[in-house]
Structures are given as C-alpha cells and as structure tokens.
Amino acid sequence: MSKIVVSLYKYKPTVASTIRVMAFIKEFLSQGNTVLMVTTCDERIDILSDRFSVVLYSEAKFKPTAFSKIINDYRLVRKTKSVYRRGDIIYSYTVPLFGFLFKKHWNVFYEETEVPLYGDRTYIWNRLSTKLRLNNISRSSGLIVISQALKEYYIKEGIGSSMIMIANMTVDVSRFEGLEKQAVSKPYIAYCGGVSNRKDGVDVLIRAFAKVADYSENLQLYIIGSFVSSEDEAYDKMLVESLNIKSKVCFMERVSSDLIPQLLKNAQCLVLARPISRQAMYGFPTKLGEYLLTSNPVVVTKVGEIPLYLKHKKDAYLAQPGDVDDLASCILDAITSTDANQIGVSGFNVALENFNSKIESKKLLEFFRHRSGDICE
C-alpha cells in the first residue's frame, strides 16, 4: 500500500476540481492506500478514515491577484514538499509554477483538466509561465488529463505520449445512491458550480430562463455556487433585474456540499450553458457527471467532447453554444416532454458506464505504479 500526498490549491466543495479530487481520494482509501491532502479550506472535509489526514498551508490573505496566486502556488508547493517522504506519491491537481522545487527523482504526478489559460504567448509572462509548467511536467513521473484533445495538446507541446494518461471526467456515485426526489414548494431548474459567464455561460442561462419563466408561474432558477469574480456577480444580478425575473432567480452562494446532491435531485432539469472556448474545447465539465447521476433530464451545450458521449434527445438535450433561443427551447422540452424522464435515465446510464470514479481511480493507481515503480493496490 502507498501514501498518496494530494496537493489541491483550495478546497471548495461545489467546484469541479474539488469534486473530482475528493472522488479519487475516497477510492484511493477504499483500495487500502493512505492519503494526506495539502490544501486550504474554510469548510469541514467529511471523510472519516484513520488513513486520511489534512495539512493546511498558509494562504495569502490580501486581495486575489496574479501576484497572490503566485505566492499561494509557492506556499502550496513548499508545504507539499515538507510532508513528502521517500516512496510517497504526490498527486498535484494542476501544474504549479514552482514544481521545479520537487526533486526530479520524486514520484510527482500532475493533473490538468483544462487547457492552460497561459497558453496565449503574446506576453512575456505567458511565455515564461508556459515554459516553466512544461518543464515541470517533463521532470515529473506523469501527467493526467481529462480528454483526448488535451492529451494531443500536450504532445504537441513536447510531452511524450507515454507520460500522459487520460482519466475520464469522474463522478462519486455514492453521493447520489438512495436519493429520492422530494416535493418542493416551487419547481425549479438548476445550475451548480463556480458561477462564471466566460467559462459556463451563466449569463446565457439567465437569458434563456427569462424566455421560459412564464411557462409556470412558480418556476424558479437556482444558481448554486460562488461567483468567480465581482464583475460577473454585478453583471448577472443586473441582468436578472433588467429581465424582470428577480423574484424567480435564487443565487445560492454558500451551500453545504452535503445538501447539493438533494438540491440537484429535486430539480426539474439541470443546465450547463458552457460557451465555445479553449477551455471547453480541451476540457470536460465534472459538474455534468453530477447532473447525469440524478437521473434528471440534463440540458448542456455541444462543446468539446460532450457530443462523443451524449446524444441529443437520447441521453440529454444538446443545445448550440451561445444560442439563447436554442437553449430556451431545450429547457422547455426538458420540463414538458413526456420523454424527458427516460432521457434522464439514459443519461444516468452513460455516467455510470463512462464516468465512474471507481474505474478511473483504479486506472490512476495503475498509472502511478507503472510510472513510479511503487506498489498501489
């Protein structure tokens, strides 16, 4: 059995990165491994195991900027380095700038689930940060990515194919086992995740909801999660006001991770309006797996590799990215069609077969063993 040191920038239970990492951690533990997580968090982490522990690093307290992120990156790497012992495996979610501080012979594995935003090499800093991260990957034991497109991206950047493993988007099936849909005072559709317009098209979702809001006098939109920026928060709340749907939109910025599965289960449908972007092209949204596990009908845009797994009106409702009218039409179908329930069940089966954390974690452990020579069973 091995000790796996998991390095996570910040623990946020509603955010995709945390959901994915925690699903893996539970499976690592179930396979008999010991896990130590290095992170910073403001919430309780609900894993009860004598083989799991958390070490917090000191996060910079001043206003979030590029400079503060660099400082936190450095602090996270230093803390991770301090708890490493010979023979351990370091599993780092994202590639840190300061990864060169890890010794070359250590068992360090990085994960990237989205194409790096520093990929624009117009500016000196972007070129430098790209070079640093690629150098860190080349010194590591291996790189884990979430899609074939992302693997091809890194191969073009000079990372050897044998160093790269694809771990599909994963979902923790146990979080949704035994859940039954509960009666609610007002029907609602929901989005859950980091509330972002650029990444997840929350503003497009709000505009589409405004077009279907009158279908039912009581129909609500739940937006579950924290805003990624004050600009998005100001814009989305202004948009809700201007569309005259303030009484129908509920921003739920702080929700316990324990409550999220039931909130998603009780919704009429779940929506992800991700726009076309570099992130969407190379990544795969973890929240989509959570949506599918509810067996509720899911409305999602046709971006990246999503259409490889889900078929329109068979496993989900697939809308054109950025098209408010098409998204609204799909939402209306999802809450009115007699086929919606069966489509939700079909989507659940897709998630179970393709995005199961038990299967993907075993692939990860095998990759760790193969690339490091340590025993992970």
Same domain, 330 and 181: yes
Which single residue is written with the structure tokens 């897709």? 350
Residues 64, 200, single domain; the answer is no
Give the Cα separation of 314 and 273 in Å (integer). 18
Q: Could you identify the residue written with the tokens 């520093």?
A: 118
Q: Is residue 31 part of a domain?
A: yes
pLDDT at 358: 87
Give how far the C-alpha of residue 97 lies from the chain's centroid of Cα atoms, to the nearest Å.
Answer: 21
| Residue recorded with tokens 């990444």 | 199
Residue 124's pLDDT is: 72
Find the angle CA(196)-CA(202)-CA(206) to the nearest 5 degrees: 150
Give the model's pLDDT for residue 109. 97
Say if residues 277 and 304 touch (Cβ distance below 8 Å): no
Look at residue 120 in the predicted model and tell me its pLDDT: 46
Spatial distance between the Cα atoms of 172 and 149, rounded to a whole number of angstroms: 24
Q: Is the residue at 245 inside a domain?
A: yes
Q: Are residues 40 and 136 in the same domain?
A: yes
| Residue tagged 């890890």 (tokens) | 102
Residue 183 lies in a domain: yes
Residues 228 and 320 in one domain: yes
CA triple 81-18-103, angle to 5 deg: 20
Please tell me the predicted confidence (pLDDT) of residue 278: 80
Residue 272 sits in the same domain as residue 300: yes
Buried/exposed code over 252-272 (b: 16+ C-beta within 10 A; e: otherwise)? beebebeebbebbbbbbbbbb
Report which of 91, 58, 89, 321 is spatially closest to residue 201, judged by C-alpha positions. Answer: 321
Residues 205, 150 share a domain: no
In total, how many domains does the chain have? 2
Q: Are residues 297 and 148 in the same domain?
A: no
SS (H, E, C) the chain: CCEEEEECCCECCCCHHHHHHHHHHHHHHHCCCEEEEEECECCCCCCCCCCEEEEECCCCCCCCCHHHHHHHHHHHHHHHHHHCCCCCEEEEECCCCCHHHCCCCCEEEEEECCCCHHHCCCCHHHHHHHHHHHHHHHHCCEEEECCHHHHHHHHHCCCCHHHEEECCCCECHHHCCCCCCCCCCCCEEEEECCECHHHHCHHHHHHHHHHHHHHCCCCEEEEECCECCHHHHHHHHHHHHHCCCHHHEEEECCCCCCCHHHHHHCCCEEEECCCCCHHHHHCCCHHHHHHHHCCCCEEEECCCCHHHHCCECCCEEEECCCCHHHHHHHHHHHHHCCCHHHHHHHHHHHHHHHCEHHHHHHHHHHHHHHHHCCCCC
pTM above 0.85, yes or no: no
The answer to whether residue 226 sits within a structural domain is yes
By residue count, the chain amounts to 377
Task: Confirm whether 136 is domain-assigned.
Answer: yes
Contact 302, 331 (CB under 8 A): no
Q: Which of 156, 161, 164, 147 is nearest to 285 (CA)?
A: 147
Residue 14 lies in a domain: yes
Determine the structural domain holding residue 143 and report its residue range.
3-170+356-372
Instruction: Answer yes or no: do 103 and 84 share one domain.
Output: yes
Indicate if 57 and 199 belong to the same structural domain: no
Residues 17 and 29 both lie in one domain: yes
Question: Alpha-carbon distance 175 to 72, whole Å?
Answer: 31
Per-residue pLDDT of the chain (377 residues), as tens digits, is: 579 999 999 898 777 788 889 989 999 999 999 999 999 987 778 788 999 999 999 887 766 666 788 899 999 999 999 999 999 999 999 999 999 999 988 999 999 988 765 444 456 777 788 888 999 999 999 999 999 999 999 999 999 999 999 999 887 788 888 899 999 999 999 999 889 999 999 999 999 999 999 888 899 999 999 898 999 999 999 999 999 999 999 999 888 878 999 999 999 999 999 999 888 888 888 889 889 999 999 999 999 999 999 999 999 999 999 999 999 999 999 999 999 999 999 999 999 989 888 889 999 999 999 998 644 44
Q: Answer for the pair 201, 228: CB distance below 8 angstroms, yes or no.
A: no
CATH code of residue 18: 3.40.50.2000
Asked if residue 97 belongs to a domain, the reply is yes
Is there a single domain that holds both residue 213 and residue 319?
yes
Residue 377 belongs to some domain of the structure: no
The neighbouring-strand residues paired with 300 are: 272, 318
- Cα-based angle 25, 31, 37 (whole degrees, multiple of 5): 25
CA distance 28 to 266: 30
- Considering the domain architecture, whether residues 328 and 346 belong to the same structural domain is answered as yes
